[in-house]
Amino acid sequence: GAGVSQSPSNKVTEKGKDVELRCDPISGHTALYWYRQSLGQGLEFLIYFQGNSAPDKSGLPSDRFSAERTGGSVSTLTIQRTQQEDSAVYLCASSSQGTAANYGYTFGSGTRLTVV
């Protein structure tokens, strides 16, 4: 597509439920990133996918968080047993290269997650 697409744009869930957030990157972009934007905290790196390489999961805050990327394209971020502190905007970005990249990422509009 023309840009990075994220769905849903908004999600309200009850504490303890599982949620799935979807990211559809720009076609041909081999690198995909998830960031979390919490109020007043800036952007926090969560996970990075590059082609068929093993993802870098070093930013995932707990084992309740997981992500996968199918066929080198669409990615799903899953949060199990959601907690109120998980409330944030989850941003996905893609870029045309990985470690050799010097280009800015292209970000999606984000999914605003509210845990009640």
Q: How many CB atoms lie within 10 A of CB 100?
A: 6
Count of residues engaged in binding another protein, rule: CB under 8 A: 29
12 binds another protein (CB under 8 A): no
Minimum CB separation of residue 70 from another protein in Å reads 21
Site for another protein in 15-74 (CB under 8 A): 31, 33, 35, 40-43, 45, 48, 50, 56, 58
Cis amide bond preceding 25, omega within 30: no
7 binds another protein (CB under 8 A): no
If you search the block for the tokens 């919490």, which residue do you land on?
Answer: 38
40 CB contacts (<8 Å, ≥6 apart)?
Answer: none
Minimum CB separation of residue 60 from another protein in Å reads 13
The side-by-side arrangement of strands in the sheet containing 75-79 is: 5-7, 19-24, 75-79, 65-69
SS3 7: strand
Q: Near another protein by CB under 8 A, which window of 13-21, 60-68, 78-86, 93-101?
A: 93-101
Residues that bind another protein (CB under 8 A): 4, 31, 33, 35, 40-43, 45, 48, 50, 56, 58, 91, 93, 95, 98-110
